[in-house]
Chains A and B, each alone.
Chain A
């Protein structure tokens, strides 16, 4: 009798324990550390957060582009012995597979991905957003996607443009990519022209300090100029506001976020500005004070003479989306190309004579005298190129300027000082080589770099 009771007791005990054991063993666990795609893109606040993430990724990819373009042109050089691939790059050698070659590509396409996620989310939840918020979100996504693809086509000979929802994107030539970029910017402009962004978008989604309409028009002008479409370049440049808060769009970096240049200009691990940037200026030109702290002693890893790059050395320093005078220089170039030399020279003079207190914007101030006598068209274009060097320093645009003027000179061995630019393109990213059948070495050979000057770059 006792034994039976014992059995029952023990059986109950075991059954209770087993039930407790198996009751708790749901194997479908949620990840509390990160939301799933589903949770983000089907949720209004999630889509709004994508817009913030997009702007953050844009700051990174734009920084990578500008930094690398500065290294392979005559802007930057490595300060530290530790950074071999950086000082190789400053001499024109960018080895395939190095971070310096891949970061530009990878970060640009991460930005593009987030822009596409945002476009998809804004459409999927279109009924949840008011029209103005939706148009703002879409315009922001179009503009940043366009600019990112534009940076890609200024760094790589061929680029993919259709990357959302495909596993093996196809590479297209600049001739095919550039219209895509411009169409995206037109979509952005149309979106906000049709439905102006809501106050909610402007105050809570767009990064404070950024003027979306100005940014879109400036980008439209920039890529119209790259496409050689001077009419539209002029028209768009004229739409870029020149005064007031809209005139200066900048990304802000409250702690703990850090502007993209602060990471690479400090201490033992970075780059500085080649001293010739300052020394090549006309003696009266004050623009170097905007960018560098002059030095007589700072030298780079392979003997380059350097000035400390202090503009964005403070991690929290805001970082302009574009330099305001780019619009004027595009305008001057368009006018000159259209044969309107006097108007072009007037615009150019307004850049040259910009001086402290001028337009009330914190941009480089040349404080130079006007040009005086009317220059020839060729001299004007040359002067515009020169002004672009000093006005648009650190934006990465110098690389395309060198390319379009056939000024790429090929690798430079230290201690020779580079002039203009040292190479045409970056090698294609290894992340692509490994996984994209359209980007194998056979399907997509790295372009041949010039070894003699002048030889020009192959723009496809």
Chain B
């Protein structure tokens, strides 16, 4: 009684004072409580098909918070289980869950073994994303993809988005560049859904909305994508990922969810003694294949000249290491997960590298029987050393490689690096002297309180923060670039960006008492997010001969920006379950963003869904079948770059040493509102042949209206454009996931997972003229065509036969040149014998794939050997090979095709003089089929568990040899059809325009390496 009285006094004081502070003292106070009689439950979780132990199965005592995760051989231990009759629930992704009853005797040990049936369609799996509160999958009317830690871990990828490649139907996960530290990766769910808001889904990790920006703070290649900030996460910490792909599922996320939501859950720790896991990986990356260059030893006049292949000097085999240490464990009331991670790898482009060091603490503490706190803290330090590529042709290495003639000898003479004649820099100089270091300090943390004041009511409150300090420096030594621009005198730059996202979420869930066959659950809540990005930059030119920092300069320039974006939303949801078979749900989110004009700001996003379980757990051919359908609305808002577009602003334009103002040529839109997507989807999940085959299929139809873009204004008014709704766009498609267990014997198991998805994007309406979505490139937003189609000049053809119309020298005729085509329409028609050449430009390609697919095969041989192979393919997409176009340009003349122009007359490979100069102007010529199949993952794992090893490592030692991007089957002639000039949300402050539609441009990209690695992993 005494301690209770003391507690009450304390609580009363707390009510008068700072109640929240006392929460921190709670564990100490609670530890004084008496402990009820408990016992232990232990057992083994196995695969029912082959009897092998199953690791990482979740074992919980029903009705309590007690739980554990099975070890490598399937064994688990639950301690401190209250005595009495208990139900033990065992669940694991990929298997049907099982509940077993047992009786726990105080001080005794009960044994509960569980054999789980394989089932890809796990209708009882609990999902969280899109449903406000944890819900069994069968109750949710939308498709949710989930990927668990085993799948992520076995990918042996550097970043999470790499690990997800080829795993999720309906997701186009493309590696835009192949730099170290994961490269730049874009994730696009169900096609292009916005122009200005990028294609990136909303990322949430343990309840924290996180930034996945790929903004460059200095020019590392125009709009290119060297890395996106998801690279700061350690994939080894991730327990599972839930992905919802569209508006129907994402309505509860309101005006940010048009592109879907990716929710990441990190490991929580299992009950029991501390369990240590250590893994170590060594990798080696290499350029998969060199590009052919002009190595013809004669110049245009037939004189002998030396030729150089600079790929040998620019690319090199690069090593990497990664170490991971995790400790997890827990006792009653406390579970913890601690990890430390160190990754260092070099890029195949010499002088580039990436290092990531991080630590994480996840703690779950029962503060009181009905109050649980979950705390996550993750600190990461990422340090990169990059080189510019892509559009950066002054000091970018790839641009310099493609634009420099192969006849230039770049080797330094007496320490002086010769510069190329017309464009770019000396790549050897760039490798040796140009530096672009990045230092990222990031903290992601969250606290979640779950309070169950009375049994049917659960209150959740989460506060999360993602705080990134990002410094980008750039050092260009003196005389590293051509021309007379100030950069010739050297440039040093330091840009610092502090980016902070704070979100708070409150959710209340009330489960009503069942009324007959009806069950009801009501959920309501709020969400508040504020993001602020503060950027300062200092730039110096006129550098001293020694010194790389801004202080070495003599001419200075500084800038500062401060941008904030806030979103507030409330939501309510009502769910009805009828006979535990039919599940109906209706919800609405009411949402406002500071970006939008006050009058347009508050928007409602409703959602309706239905799920019907036709069959469940039945024997025979068809074991499980569920059908579902949903209709929902979601929005998207412009990123932080356009946060203030509603204001009519003036900009500073100083003159003659005095401050000046002029109107911003982008006219503010005082009635700005969000983009709005309407989506319906229908789908089914089926389990066939006793879990051997399972199928998940979804068809969706989405229409995004009020698409935001820059509407041109009459420039005679002194303005150029206004950010406003300009049209609508649809995406329709099919997603299919099939899992099969082909052979399942105790000593041999072979299983496969295949995904297939198609998407058809169509620009439905535009109330402005067609426009180029990425300034300077031949892509187009055009009614009736998929977003981002290639639109440009073509080679004139004979209208009857389709044969190319060549000029007298055998060169193409450019459709948009009067020199080639004549000045009048009559001349054009006479040339082609019809109207097929009438237009100056035409749609010449489509970067959107017609379908994507993947095939994962896993084979287990005996108890110790496991093989895994993932094929990942994209089909029917076009890529514009602007890299080779650059090589063919007159200033470069370094391609193999240009070489053919130099050959002597009479050589069958000889091209007419000026042939390549002509093709520069025929964009159709550069469109190639970008379809590919990649051997994305290949690995073999052997578990060393001979007694000698087991004495050291309890669960044995896993040794894995693996490869990533081992082989590519494609007709594409460039380095890689997957790379893309633009990132997802590149086009940051002050950079040129890009949109989410801008895909399929290969221009000076960083090639994606082939990576081999060897790793070892053990626990004890």
Residues of A within 8 A of B (CB): 1-3, 5-14, 16-18, 21-22, 24-29, 31-37, 39-40, 46, 49-57, 59, 81-82, 102, 105-106, 109-110, 112-114, 116-117, 160, 163-164, 166-169, 204, 207-208, 251-257, 266-269, 429, 431-432, 434-436, 439
Name the one of B23, B482, B662, B668 contacting A54, with C-beta atoms under 8 angstroms: B662
Please give the distance in Å from A437's CB to the nearest CB on chain B.
9
- Of chain A, the residue at the smallest CB distance from B564 is A29
Which chain B residues lie closer than 8 Å to A255 at the CB level? 555
* Contact segment of B652-660, B937-945, B956-964, B994-1002: B652-660
On chain B, the number of residues with a Cβ less than 8 Å from chain A's Cβ atoms is 80
Evaluate whether A14 and B719 lie within 8 angstroms (CB atoms) in the complex, with A8-B15, A34-B650 already known: no
Note all chain A residues with C-beta closer than 8 A to B769: 434
**Out of A17, A55, A166, A257, which one reaches B717, CB within 8 Å?**
A166
Contact of A268 among B14, B422, B506, B654 (CB under 8 A): B422
A113 touches B649 (CB 8 A): no
Q: How far is the CB of B19 from chain A (nearest CB, A)?
A: 4
Q: Could you give 6 example pairs across A and B, Cβ below 8 Å?
A: A27-B598, A40-B650, A56-B662, A59-B655, A110-B662, A267-B484
A52 lies within 8 A of B655 (CB): yes
Contact present for A252 and B656 (CB under 8 Å): yes
B368 near A257: Cβ-Cβ < 8 Å: no
- Contact assessment for B712 and A434 in the assembled complex, using a CB-CB cutoff below 8 Å: yes
Question: Could you list 10 further interchain pairs (A-B, Cβ under 8 angstroms) beyond the known A11-B453, A56-B660?
Answer: A6-B368, A9-B15, A10-B451, A14-B449, A17-B463, A52-B654, A52-B658, A56-B655, A117-B662, A266-B485
Is B4 interfacial (CB 8 A cutoff)? yes
Contacts of B368 in A (CB 8 A): 6, 10
- Check if B561 sits within 8 Å of A33, measured CB to CB: yes
Top 9 nearest A-B pairs by Cβ distance?
A113-B718, A52-B660, A431-B715, A56-B655, A53-B660, A267-B484, A436-B714, A53-B662, A267-B483
Q: Is the CB of B712 within 8 A of A435?
A: yes
Residue of B422, B654, B719 near A56 (CB, 8 A) is B654
Stretch at the interface among B5-13, B221-229, B926-934: B5-13
Expressed in whole angstroms, the minimum distance between the Cβ of A210 and any Cβ of chain B is 9
Chain A residues near B557: list those with CB within 8 A: 256
Q: How far is the CB of B36 from chain A (nearest CB, A)?
A: 15
Contacts known (A6-B371, A53-B655); A17 close to B20, Cβ less than 8 A: yes
Asked if residues B656 and A254 are in contact (CB atoms below 8 Å), the reply is yes
Min CB distance, A122 to chain B, in Å? 14
Task: Select B716's contact among A35, A49, A53, A105, beta carbons within 8 Å.
Answer: A105
- Nearest opposing residue in chain B for A433, CB measure: B769
- For A168, the chain B residues whose CB sits under 8 A away are 714
Q: Is the CB of A114 within 8 A of B19?
A: no
Question: Known: A28-B598, A81-B891. Contact between A7 and B453, CB under 8 A?
Answer: yes
A238 to B719 Cα, complex, angstroms? 38
Q: Is the CB of B656 within 8 A of A114?
A: no
Question: Cβ of B656 and Cβ of A10 under 8 Å apart?
Answer: no
Complex interface: chain B residues within 8 A of A54 (CB): 660, 662
| B 660-700 to A, binary, CB cutoff 8 A, 1 in contact else 0 | 11111100100000000000000000000000000000000
The answer to whether the Cβ of B504 comes within 8 Å of any Cβ in the partner chain is yes
Query: In whole angstroms, what is the CA distance A160 to B668 when docked?
Result: 23
The answer on a CB contact under 8 Å between A55 and B720 is: no
Q: Select from chain B the residue with minimum beta-carbon distance to A431.
A: B715
B483 contacts A34, C-beta separation under 8 Å = no
Q: Give Cα A110 to B719, complex, Å.
A: 7
A207 to B657 Cα, complex, angstroms? 9
- In the bound assembly, the distance between CA atoms of A251 and B559 in angstroms comes to 25
Interface residues of B in 617-660 (CB under 8 A from A): 643-644, 647-660
Distance in angstroms between the alpha carbons of A322 and B346 in the assembled complex: 59
The residue that B714 contacts in the complex, of A28, A59, A110, A439, with Cβ under 8 A, is A439
A6 proximity list for chain B (CB < 8 A): 11, 368, 370-371
The yes or no answer to B563 lying at the interface (CB within 8 A) is yes
CB of A14 within 8 A of CB of B451, answer yes
Name which residue of chain B comes closest to A165, CB basis: B717
Residues in A neighbouring B20, C-beta threshold 8 A: 12-13, 16-17
- 557-589 of chain B: CB within 8 A of chain A: 557, 561-564, 566, 568
Identify the B interface with A (CB < 8 A). Answer: 4, 7-8, 11-12, 14-15, 19-20, 22-23, 368, 370-371, 422-423, 449, 451, 453, 459, 461, 463, 482-485, 504, 506, 526, 528, 530, 555, 557, 561-564, 566, 568, 592-594, 598, 601, 643-644, 647-665, 668, 711-720, 768-769, 890-891
Q: Nearest CB to that of B652 among chain A residues?
A: A34
B661 near A33 with CB under 8 A, answer: no
User: For B423, what are the chain A residues with a Cβ–Cβ distance below 8 Å?
Assistant: 82
**Residues of B contacting A37 with CB < 8 Å?**
648-650, 663, 668
Asked if A163 and B592 sit within 8 Å, CB to CB, the answer is no
Check A269 against B483 for contact (C-beta < 8 Å): yes
Q: Contacts A27-B566, A252-B656; is A5 near B422 (CB within 8 Å)?
A: no
Knowing A31-B647, A113-B719, A166-B717, the reply to whether A57 touches B564 (Cβ < 8 A) is no
A50 and B648 CA atoms in complex are apart in Å by 15
Q: Are A35 and B8 in contact (CB under 8 A)?
A: no
Shortest C-beta distance, B454 to chain A (Å), equals: 9
> Which of A5, A11, A204, A269 has the largest count of B CB atoms less than 10 A from its CB?
A5
How distant is the Cα of A413 from the Cα of B12 in the complex, in angstroms?
94
Q: Which residues of the partner chain A approach B652 to less than 8 Å between Cβ atoms?
A: 34
Q: Is B665 in contact with A110, judged by CB distance below 8 angstroms?
A: yes
- Write out the residue numbers on chain B whose beta carbons fall within 8 Å of the beta carbon of A40: 650, 661
**Contact yes or no, B655 A29, CB < 8 A:** no
Residue of B528, B714, B718 near A25 (CB, 8 A) is: B528
A250 to chain B, nearest CB (A): 11
A163 touches B650 (CB 8 A): no
B661: chain A residues at CB < 8 Å are 35, 40, 46, 49-50, 52-53
Residues of A near B484 (CB, < 8 A) are 266-268
Measured in the bound complex, the distance between the Cα atoms of B453 and A207 in whole Å is: 72
> Which of B11, B12, B663, B718 lies at the interface centre, i.e. has the most chain A CB atoms within 10 A of its CB?
B718
Residue on B nearest A160 in the bound complex, by CB: B716
- Are A12 and B654 in contact (CB-based, < 8 A)? no
Q: With a CB–CB cut-off of 8 A, which chain B residues contact A21?
A: 463, 504, 506, 526, 528
Min distance, Cβ B25 to any Cβ of chain A, angstroms:
11
For B664, list chain A residues within 8 Å (CB).
Answer: 34
| Given contacts A2-B4, A17-B463, A268-B483, A25 and B715 within 8 Å (CB-CB) | no
Which residues does chain B contribute within 8 Å of A429, judged by CB atoms?
715-716
Q: Is the CB of B566 within 8 A of A14?
A: no
**Shortest distance from the beta carbon of A206 to any chain B beta carbon, whole Å:** 9
Expressed in whole angstroms, the minimum distance between the Cβ of B399 and any Cβ of chain A is: 13
Partner of B655 from A18, A55, A267 at Cβ < 8 Å: A55
Question: When A36-B647, A431-B714 are in contact, do A52 and B659 touch as well, CB less than 8 Å?
Answer: yes
In the bound complex, how far is the Cα of B716 from the Cα of A454, in angstroms?
33
Determine if B716 and A436 form an interchain contact, defined as CB atoms under 8 angstroms apart: yes
Contacts of B530 in A (CB 8 A): 24-25
Q: How far is the CA of A39 from the CA of B668 in the complex (A)?
A: 14
* Contact of A106 with B720 at beta-carbon distance under 8 Å, contacts A9-B19, A16-B20, A114-B662 already known: yes
Q: Which residues of B contact A435 (CB under 8 A)?
A: 711-715, 768
* CB contact between B593 and one of A27, A31, A208 (< 8 Å): that residue: A27
Contacts of A110 in B (CB 8 A): 662-663, 665, 715, 718
The smallest C-beta distance from A201 to any residue of chain B, in angstroms, reads 13
In the complex, which residues of chain A have a beta carbon less than 8 angstroms from the beta carbon of B568? 22, 25, 27
Q: Which residues of A contact B449 (CB under 8 A)?
A: 10, 13-14
Residues of B within 8 A of A17 (CB): 20, 461, 463, 504
By a CB distance below 8 angstroms, the chain B residues around A27 are: 566, 568, 592-594, 598, 601
Tell me whether B712 and A13 are in contact (CB under 8 A): no
| A7 CB, nearest partner CB in chain B, Å | 5
A38 to B712, CA, bound (A): 23
State in angstroms the CA–CA spacing of A436 and B422 once bound together.
Answer: 40
B647-A12 in contact (CB<8A): no
Query: For residue B770, which residue of chain A has the nearest CB?
Result: A434
Alpha-carbon distance between A269 and B649 when the two chains are bound, in angstroms: 32
